[in-house]
Structure 1
Amino acid sequence: MAVAQSIMLAAGGTGGHLFPAFALAEELKRRGVTVDLMTDMRGDRYGSGFPARTIYQVPSATLASRSPADVVRTTMMLARGTRAAFSILGRVKPSAVIGFGGYPTYPPLVAARLRGIPTAIHEQNAVLGRANKLLAKRVTAIATSFDRTKFLEGKLAEKAVLTGNPVRQAVVDAAARPYEAPSAEGVIRLLIFGGSQGARFFSDTVPLALFALPDAIRKRLRVVQQAREEDLERVQEAYSEANISAEIAPFFTDLPTRMAAAHLVVGRAGASTVAELTVMGRPSILVPLPHALDNDQLNNARRLAESGGAWCIEQKNLSPERLADELEKLLIAPDGLAAAAKAAKTAGRPDAVRNLADFALALAEGRKTGMGRES
């Protein structure tokens, strides 16, 4: 039986794809396996210090529309990426290639199949993403994060394994802090973040909602909020006028620590966000990004809300007045926050990174990955 010498990970340049790949890389490194990363030309734009021996950048493109021009442009770019990936894999000779979604994973996985290298994809969301949907028939095995994954049916489901969505060690470390609901007169710590695509809505909505809260609640607030660079000044001014203590920044490198400290999180419902909230056991109001491909965030948020670990409100239904009402109801009843935190923790999969590493090594060493239909 072969022993895995190295494993190539492939991930798009967004946090939702890079962070679970990062977590797997950490675990494989702990097990003595060399990890390389193949990504698009954005590389590690989060400055996370990805734990790979080498980070390879290959051309890629996302299909923006169905217009003939976009289809031709995307196809040509993916073909260029596949040629580049084929050459890199020939030099590196990994034991397996595992993709984490996004069109940048398409060239490495297609090239790996052409070279006869075992392949797998990991789906972070409750719905199979478009790139993963294209690759699902071509790969050796599929790892999933939810017990039910939309569009994963029939023969595809037969090669699927439920591993969960792994989180980084920083999240696991922060999760050691138990949740404590706000006391009757104590401070209330709110954390608001929306990612690069979703922060603008929260910049427009949340300050107005918090300003509308009763004085007795407002004076206890300690807000940490992500905002786009161009919105920082106006958001800070809004909180200053409302006499609300707030720290505003475009990005927080210590977000897991801040999440663990929060009494309530208001955010989007990306797969990594949901995984981190559940591993930590933190209550949240989730506002899925509208118009997301295949409604993946809406599916993620609904799954967590069904468990009792979050409240899902679609953006089209969330005015500042509605958010103020929801926040007031939650903040005057801390027992409800504590119950949601417990439910979120129950829904979490803290062993996901170990499961995925076991899956990756079985794939690389030619062993059975535990394939079977999702339960």
Structure 2
Amino acid sequence: MSSPWGKIQKPEIPVSFAEIMSEDVARNLQNKENELHRKFLDIGKLDEAGPPILYDTQIDENIPDEVLKAISNDSIESDAAIAQMLQMQFDKEYDDTLKRKEQKLNGTSKVSISLENYKRAPHNFDFESDSEPEEIEDIQDRKDWDRFDTLQKVIDSIPGCGYKVQQNGTLITKHDLVNNGRKNACKLLSFPPEFQTGDGETFDLKLSNKVYNSLKKHSKKEQVRRYRIDTKKEDRATAEFGMDEYTRLLIYKMVNGGLLDSVNGVISIGKEAVIIHVDSNTDFPDVQEPLPKECVLKVFKTTLAEFKRRDQYIKDDHRFKDKIGKKTSKKNINVWVEKEMANLLRLQRVGIKCPKVITVKKHILLMSFIGEKNRPAPKLKDAIMSDADYSIAYEEVKC
């Protein structure tokens, strides 16, 4: 459209506020891109002061200060080490989240829930370099497992002179009542496992010397009592099978001394003794006559459960009545073995057939074996004999 007054300018098209904001945002983003690109080019150039700085705290604001400090260290050149540090920081943040969750769940409740097993990172973190091992402390060495470990370190800190001056200027000696009481509490850990000491870790336990000595004395008494009960159980085996520890030792001495070659097994068990078949050493020198090959050991029971009135059979015997007195059953049994041996020798003198006595050791009587090929002769009640055989046997033993 023409006009005599001059050229008419076209009116500007109005721009919306949203378009203006979008242009400003695009312009700012482009400026930041240019700035970052320029800094990246500047960082790539070597500086006379040292190696280039690869990271800037203003650029990476989300990276923790500990990791940035470790990254800026010249000795760390491995990407794996940097990744481990970042992972440790992530684990620490995860553990902090668990800790807050644990506090929220527990609240003021008396029963608390622990999420310690679900944590990923240890309590302490070391971001030092691997090139300085003297600065890195082991986490396990740094940690006190319980209160007693801490107390033991305090007690051991007192030097050999017997006293120590603390930081506040006070003098503490090895005879201090508080430390001495705590030291006695630590000594409770050396008691036997069966001694119930309780949980002294949850509070500051202190024991005086008098209390500790009483507990120690009681612990030893209980331990002796337990061993005494076990000893009685072992002695009870003599009443059942006649083979307690002392009896086995005596038989071992017979074998080791050359009197016996082997111990075969039990033939019979009675209320007063156990009969064991053995093989003797026919070439044993310390005997007047050659020993029979097959012999028996008659082991008398020292702990009696069935035959308790043996003294009635000995007290009227003029040969042994002076040997019976206020003795233990183990000593009285030796007298009973002597009486048994004397009766067998008496039978031999009058010509009655009986086992031949070889020797006696405490409550063990070694005799000849009646039988052959490890098979004992049958007892009179089990023997199959005719009337004539019974008459002959009666005439042999008739007085």
- TM-score interval, smaller chain: under 0.3
Select the structure of larger CA radius of gyration. 2
TM-score (norm 2): 0.17
TM-score (norm 1): 0.18
Higher RCO (CA < 8 A, seq sep 6+): 1
